[in-house]
Structure 1
Amino acid sequence: MDEMSGFITHYLISGPLLTDFIADKADKNQIRYEQYLRSIVAERNKPAPSDNIKIGDKSELGLPWEYYYPGSGFVNISQFSVTPKKVELLAATGLVAQEDMEIRAILWTYTAVDVWLGDQKICSVTEPVYKPIKKKEIKLVLKEGYNALLIRMQNLAVRDTRNIFGIQLLEHREKVAPALPDAEHAEPFLALDHWLSGIEMKGNRIYFPADAPCKVYLTYDDASNDKDCVDVSGMSCADVKRDMVMAVVYGEIQHKKMIRKIELLHNKKPAYRQSASSDEIRRAMFEELSLMGAEPAFQPLRFGLFYVLARWHLGKKAVQDEAHINQALEQMERREDCSDFFLAGLLRMMQSFSLPAALSAKAEQTILNYRYWMTEDGSDGMCFWSENHALMFYICAFMAGNQYPDKIFPRSGRTGLQVSEVAKDRIRQWLADIEEYGFEEFLSADYMCVTLGALLNVVDYMEEEESERAVRLVDLMLKSFACHTFRGSIIAPQARIYRSVILPFTQSAQALIHLLNPETPVGNSEWMVFLMNSKYRMPHHYASLMNGPLEMEYQTGNAWVKLEKQQDYMLTSVQSPRYDEKPSFWENISFDDSADIESNLYIKSFNERFHGTSRFEPGVQGYQQHMWYAALDNDTVVFSNHPGEMADDGGMRPGYWYGNGIMPAIKQQGNLLGVIYDIGEDHPIAFTHLFFPASKFDSVSKDGQWLFGQKDGGYVAIWCSDAMVPHNDRLIDCEYRVYGTRMAYICQCGSKEEFESLGHFRDYCQTLSPAFDHSKLKLSASNGYTLASIRSENKTQYV
């Protein structure tokens, strides 16, 4: 049991079992359709799982019972599903009570869950939700001795899926102890779990606890790497290879591997090309992409069709090219989520190349029968409505209609010419919206490469008016990235982000920065294939914005972004709430039954509900939004967030390092920024944490409530109202947790040029004398800085 939070941490599980799930009922409103699927996916009144549980034996699901590792407090089997499926999972744990007693507890879940205590059902959540997490109070009537807890979880898997539940004890934790069924066989797993959690690392040396419960091994990248595998049983330490980026320590019990991954962040460094021109870089990137999937034996690749397109543009066909194209066609036929990406590539390919006869016929049928919008006939789990997906579907429809102008597209009943006309109107609405408000998925260094691909199809295959408007928007995208580039990498608050947040030079849009400026770190993305024959020309003059001081603030979507960039540091954020003089917001109309559900404003409103709001306010449920960054180098960044899950690499949105469970209050004034978190009682994660990678700095020190970092001539200082507790998970010496539901941070940046020395900078920070009133949620500093957090709620964030 987690002593800090009260969550039960150890379970046996069977599953997940995934089966195809689709309803005959269709709906032109995808939110409503998926809500309907969730309402029927869970079978009611199913009996408790059998309590005759043995590790390795099969449950009623036909899958073996296994020890669940790692135990963070949640059973978290989150996943991404490209088509709708039903998820089923069984779990079992237990509590040993010192006496007969009652304990108040909470079940946290996004799923449908039934819980039995012994043979009595004590809790039932009948319908899953997408977000936010559900909280249900339960009463555990325990008898002295062992008490079995059995759990049945059911959920709808569609795109990113939160297969999560956790049980939190609210009282009398000192009088109960966790236990597992099949205790004799579970004991070796518990022992290995405990041993793996005791691993420490300093520099390039891993230190192992004594008395490993079984043979244990050290390898790299993943546990299947036999080439570099070393038996470390009985060893107290081992040096890791200096060029490796992931160390893997594992043991095996009853043919089940338990694996601890340690990311060697200090070995992850940006790479550069020496003395390469922009043209040479462009050719090198395209050559690199063309090599993907060019092997004689077919290896399925998600973007295999894109790599074929790269080869064909270079005049280098490969033996498996038709197989890659056929794979993409099959994904489109199944209408997998993101199959619109492959369709955009296919339609682009067909503008320049002829397909072999058999593939051409199959492509025609696939294109005609595709579902280009959620109001067309059919049902599936495709995401139509994010900023990048919406334009992608629009331009695909436009190009498909032009490809087959006289054919009937059966899902809409329109001719190709009509399909193109409808799509053209939608594209114009999308362009006009971005021209007025800026990008809603602003500065998203992974997602905006997708938007780039869609825009380049507009640039290259629409008429002059739309083409020129699209060129200006690509320019705007690249200019924004250039402004937020520091020492060659994009350092930016972002509307949607993934774990690449911890190492900005690994983000997809690094490819664009590298194309703009050859002196920046190397990057590449499959979406660069769309540039190969495009008439769009990179605005290389924007490279001048990457270097030198820059102070700016601006609106994009509903957000207000601030940027302070100096030679030796950068501080940037979105304000929560906005403090600009005359805030202007677009309004969400997705709850208006009379709204035009095919208008761009409705789709934009739809997107806000699913993928998070850019109207940042403290207390609002978060998604993938990244709120602030301080940087001293392109791989040396600092930020805080409220995690959406308990442990690194859980796969959720929001995740451990990316996004926020609950939005904070934020205000930036020049090179100082304040943050207040008020998590509240309706979110299970009662801590925030700070990303502060010690190995990336030249020096790190702590003085009272202040944490200082220095690299080259740049300085950063973090103050927190509550204790910053070092914590190691997948990352070592990178994380400080702050436990509680209310806390505040201050981030102060500076440089040798401004403060003469690190000592002078430290002295200045101490004079700020920050103070935080936990009850009134007010933060202040001696220089006149103030920030107050007033809790808000945004009903669009409940799905």
Structure 2
Amino acid sequence: MTAVSSYLAYSPLPLRHSVINRWMVSGIFTRNVRFEPMTMEGDINDWLIKGFSIHENPCRKEFVDARRSANPELPFTEPPAAGGQLSLWDSFKSWDVYFPWGNSRVEESGFYYVPTHMLRYAYTTVVSPAAHKAVFHLKTCGSVALWVNGRLVCDFTPFTRNIEQKTQVEIELEAGENRFFVCHEDLAERDTLYHYTLEYAGPEPLEIRIPLADSETAANVAAMEESLERSCVPADSVTDDEIRIMFEQPFTRNVSFEVSYSSFFSGRYAMQRELAAGQRDLVLGHTSEFGIDYKYFEVSARIGHATVRKLFGIELVNNRFQPQNGEALSVKERKQAALECVADLGIPNIHTAIAKLKTGGDPEQSRDMILNGLIGIEERRDCADFYLIALFRFWRDYRDSGLFDEAFWGRVKETMLGFRYWIDEPGDDVMWFFSENHALLFHSCQLLAGQLFPDDRFTNSGETGAQRQAKAEAQLIGWFERFFAEGLAEWNSSAYIPIDFLGLIQLYDLAELPVLREEARRAMDLLYGYMMSEAHDGYLTSTFGRSYEKELLGNHAAGTTSLIWVGYGVGNVNSTSFNVSLYLSDYTPPQELGELTKLGEGEELEFQLEQGKDGYAKLTHYRTSGFVLSSIADFRPGLKGYQEHVLHLAFSPVAQIWVNHPGEIYAHGSGRPSFWAGNGCLPKVGQYKGLGILLFDVDPDHDADYTHAYFPVDAFARVESRGSWFFAESAGAYAAVYAAGGLELTDSGTNRGRELTSKGRRNVWLVTAADRQEFASFEQFIDRMERMPHEVSVDTLEVRLKDARYGEVRFGWQQPLTVDGEEVRVRDCGVRGTLQRKAREVSGT
């Protein structure tokens, strides 16, 4: 990149083709859209195997048909200027430079809680050395209309929700500058991939130019982009300390930054920060000012009319409410401590409002939070069920308290009576019904609303409360039958187990039908059994059926962490608000499970189980006192992934390792799969005790032509690299990571010092862990791993090795995992699994 005259000049991003990913973009114009209310149908868990697109909202067709019948419009012809205004739908948006940070896509993916028509414009100048007919590949989620030099060359309208489609476009390029204009549209429905990619397939060396006001502005923008490109947070988790962005080189002048921050379920807040000349660390604040949460900070520097923005993610840990010895407290005492933590530090919502009331907080504060929460329920925003479920307890506990006026209670009741409680009711919203946690909450909400108002008429369905109650009881009995037969379709998910508890605890406390209360207790006991069998030192660091960056990099803040701490006093308390109802309940987790919290140095624990429809998730968890290794066996290898996290090694909440094929090449993107959470293409995985093997055969059309491992160097006591191996030590336990394609530690930018990359679409990875019970020292472990006889074929994706602990291990794309000739399989263990805790057999080391 260079800054020349009054424009920024870039070479196209070199991927499979030359990618035109530098544009001037308008802000996104949005308008909420309404459709003819319709019903839906379908199995709640099939989408996890068949893909979420099998449940397309019927309203989408209405939107797509209208767009395809219309001609795209370009309301301007001259190149825009940074800071210039564009008007549409009675609103104004400003033009600004798009900074991709390595992303091949022009992307603004995100989460939209109601059906939202999105539209934006983009402009770029492509300089060609000669006039010629050029071939471009255009890819999009949504639709793209493309004009070049004033002529509409393509109007591509696939509109397949969150599934990228592509087409080929031939364009007559002139010698010199060519003006490209884009109109990019889609209908946003909850998690929304919103991007387009333009790839040039010819041999000519093109140049991209982005106009700016003058040469000084262009030079300063280029310098700031380079500085932010190389910057990072020092570590992915910070505890009781300053929150900092670290620049590689100090600035020669004071620089002002606008900083906004948010988390997954919170609003966005803004602040100003300044970096003094000569300083390298931009201090954003202190963890004492925040809850225990995984936060995203967007740091922006305004230069002239252009703004350079970059996103940083970091876990913030505030130990103000952490007792000295949680294990010495009773469950009741730990619940109270957790409740106070949420009341003080929780994200403002209905759950936090109840926590504040229960701990003597200001009723007006709680009233405002609840009224704000009612808006989302009334608008039927996605995840409205996560908050509606708490209102029934709130009504029981406070309806006759005299704290709130009748108008307030009238609105709460009206909100309950007007809700859409299931897919067989008409609606034009984008609430997601098709997962076990959402189904449980919708059924539970319907039951509790029906119980509360048996004689009232519910306006969306026309049914009485008594009819709703009877219907919900039948639905819930069916849900429990399936749950106890299949377990968690979204196996082990640290994001969604707390949501399951959110429904189960209300049934346990509030359901009138005794069988539902008992089934809820059994289900919670089973979930605690899973967590305590799989957690390490109180943290559910595991393979997950659905994963997010916020849990993978935020173990202290995960909802399961606080559930485990309340039950058994290990790990830490946090400010997750979804757990409030459990803290208020008299439900007590099975205390005998507390025996699983700690293993002796000479012990090992192996837990195998089958989850999901027909037991498709074959899970293995191997734990010692020093580490846990967890994986899913042979899960859809080679196919497109979603949010499945297939192998995880952990020594502590921050000293952890996993391998994946990135679903996108932007470090803090919104994709599902994303950079760290899930896999663009799923590997074949095999595990035996402390050894994991991953075989990758990545789709040649995927942007990411590499695989990588999360490997946070600063979280380990020692790290060594030897050829294609990296080694780490943590508190007397050891890890070794190997990739047949070689390993390189990222040394700059967002993932500085925490990412190992390995080139190639076909690759073989080994991840193994051990401790002093097996190897007397870290040095001995390194020596044995390096000298371990092994044969690895990337062409055939086959592995054969002689492990000093386990013997001869073989694994291949077409071969099962075998150890000393015996096939290793997860079978006949069902949803309850088989748990073996025993003395370790150590030999050959």
The two structures have a TM-score, normalised by structure 2, of 0.81
**Is 1:145 aligned with 2:190?**
no
Q: How many Å separate the matches in 2 of 1:168 and 1:209? A: 34
1:420 offset after TM fit, Å? 0.7
**Is 1:749 aligned with 2:754?**
no
- 1:525 aligned partner, one-letter code: T
Aligned residue for 1:445? Answer: 494
1:774 offset after TM fit, Å? 3.3
1:508 offset after TM fit, Å? 1.5
**Is 1:736 aligned with 2:763?**
no
Aligned residue for 2:292? Answer: none
Would the alpha carbon gap of residues 559 and 280 (structure 1) be closer, same or farther in structure 2, given more than 3 Å must change?
Answer: same
- 1:96 aligned partner, one-letter code: V
**Is 1:343 aligned with 2:363?**
no
1:780 offset after TM fit, Å? 3.4
Whether the 8 Å CA contact 2:534–2:607 is kept in 1: the answer is no
Specify which structure has the higher proportion of strand.
2
**Is 1:477 aligned with 2:527?**
yes
Q: How many Å separate the matches in 2 of 1:522 and 1:138? A: 55
1:408 offset after TM fit, Å? 2.0
Listed as ranges, the matches of 1:462-541 within 5 Å are: 462=511, 463-499=513-549, 500-541=551-592
Listed as ranges, the matches of 1:197-276 within 5 Å are: 197-199=229-231, 206-209=246-249, 216-217=255-256, 225-226=271-272, 229-232=274-277, 235=278, 237=280, 251-254=301-304, 256-260=306-310, 272-276=322-326
1:292 offset after TM fit, Å? 5.7
Report Cα offsets for 1:171-214 as digits up to 9, x if no partner. Answer: 426x22222245846564334213332447889994544887x8
The partner residue of 1:46 within 59, 65, 72 is: 72
Would the alpha carbon gap of residues 205 and 35 (structure 1) be closer, same or farther in structure 2, given more than 3 Å must change?
Answer: closer
**Is 1:82 aligned with 2:113?**
yes
Whether the 8 Å CA contact 1:489–1:510 is kept in 2: the answer is yes
Q: How many Å separate the matches in 2 of 1:724 and 1:107? A: 33
* Structure 1 counterpart SS, 2:27: strand
Bigger CA drift: 22-31 or 154-163? 22-31
The partner residue of 1:626 within 645, 657, 661 is: 645
Q: How many Å separate the matches in 2 of 1:263 and 1:427? A: 38
* Structure 2 counterpart SS, 1:785: strand
Bigger CA drift: 657-666 or 214-223? 214-223
* Structure 2 counterpart SS, 1:63: strand
* Structure 2 counterpart SS, 1:389: helix
Aligned residue for 1:590? Answer: none
The partner residue of 2:658 within 639, 642, 645 is: 639
Would the alpha carbon gap of residues 741 and 526 (structure 1) be closer, same or farther in structure 2, given more than 3 Å must change?
Answer: same
Would the alpha carbon gap of residues 318 and 469 (structure 1) be closer, same or farther in structure 2, given more than 3 Å must change?
Answer: same
Listed as ranges, the matches of 1:761-780 within 5 Å are: 761-780=781-800
Aligned residue for 1:407? Answer: 456
Aligned residue for 1:585? Answer: none
Aligned residue for 2:670? Answer: 651
1:494 offset after TM fit, Å? 0.8
**What is the Cα-based RMSD across aligned positions, in Å?**
3.0
Report Cα offsets for 1:655-700 as digits up to 9, x if no partner. Answer: 2111122211111122111112222134333222210000001111
Would the alpha carbon gap of residues 451 and 238 (structure 1) be closer, same or farther in structure 2, given more than 3 Å must change?
Answer: closer
Bigger CA drift: 62-71 or 3-12? 3-12
Whether the 8 Å CA contact 1:270–1:635 is kept in 2: the answer is no
Aligned residue for 2:38? Answer: 26
- 2:31 aligned partner, one-letter code: T
The partner residue of 2:227 within 191, 195, 213 is: 195
* Structure 2 counterpart SS, 1:409: coil
- 2:58 aligned partner, one-letter code: Y
* Structure 2 counterpart SS, 1:337: coil
Q: How many Å separate the matches in 1 of 2:734 and 2:534? A: 19
Aligned residue for 2:13? Answer: 2
Aligned residue for 1:112? Answer: 143
Q: How many Å separate the matches in 2 of 1:269 and 1:719? A: 36
Bigger CA drift: 194-203 or 718-727? 194-203
Q: How many Å separate the matches in 1 of 2:300 and 2:377? A: 39
Q: How many Å separate the matches in 1 of 2:381 and 2:33? A: 13
1:289 offset after TM fit, Å? 2.3
- 1:493 aligned partner, one-letter code: T
- 1:758 aligned partner, one-letter code: F
**Is 1:57 aligned with 2:84?**
yes
Would the alpha carbon gap of residues 315 and 21 (structure 1) be closer, same or farther in structure 2, given more than 3 Å must change?
Answer: same
Whether the 8 Å CA contact 2:301–2:308 is kept in 1: the answer is yes
Aligned residue for 1:587? Answer: none
1:723 offset after TM fit, Å? 3.1
Whether the 8 Å CA contact 1:67–1:186 is kept in 2: the answer is no
- 2:81 aligned partner, one-letter code: K
Would the alpha carbon gap of residues 668 and 132 (structure 1) be closer, same or farther in structure 2, given more than 3 Å must change?
Answer: farther
- 2:130 aligned partner, one-letter code: E
Aligned residue for 1:551? Answer: 606
- 1:152 aligned partner, one-letter code: C
Give the unaligned 5+ runs of structure 2.
Answer: 1-11, 42-54, 236-243, 262-268, 288-294, 816-845
Would the alpha carbon gap of residues 397 and 205 (structure 1) be closer, same or farther in structure 2, given more than 3 Å must change?
Answer: closer
Whether the 8 Å CA contact 1:767–1:782 is kept in 2: the answer is no
- 2:619 aligned partner, one-letter code: V
**Is 1:568 aligned with 2:626?**
yes
Whether the 8 Å CA contact 1:266–1:695 is kept in 2: the answer is no
Q: How many Å separate the matches in 2 of 1:146 and 1:454? A: 59
Aligned residue for 1:98? Answer: 129
Bigger CA drift: 676-685 or 478-487? 676-685
Bigger CA drift: 626-635 or 82-91? 626-635
Whether the 8 Å CA contact 1:99–1:144 is kept in 2: the answer is yes
- 2:187 aligned partner, one-letter code: L
Aligned residue for 2:839? Answer: none
- 1:189 aligned partner, one-letter code: V
Aligned residue for 2:477? Answer: 428
1:153 offset after TM fit, Å? 0.6
- 1:520 aligned partner, one-letter code: G
Give the unaligned 5+ runs of structure 1.
Answer: 294-300, 577-615, 792-799
Would the alpha carbon gap of residues 119 and 255 (structure 1) be closer, same or farther in structure 2, given more than 3 Å must change?
Answer: closer
Whether the 8 Å CA contact 1:22–1:37 is kept in 2: the answer is no
Aligned residue for 2:344? Answer: 291
* Structure 2 counterpart SS, 1:490: coil
Bigger CA drift: 181-190 or 540-549? 181-190
Say how many residue pairs are matched. 739
1:712 offset after TM fit, Å? 1.4
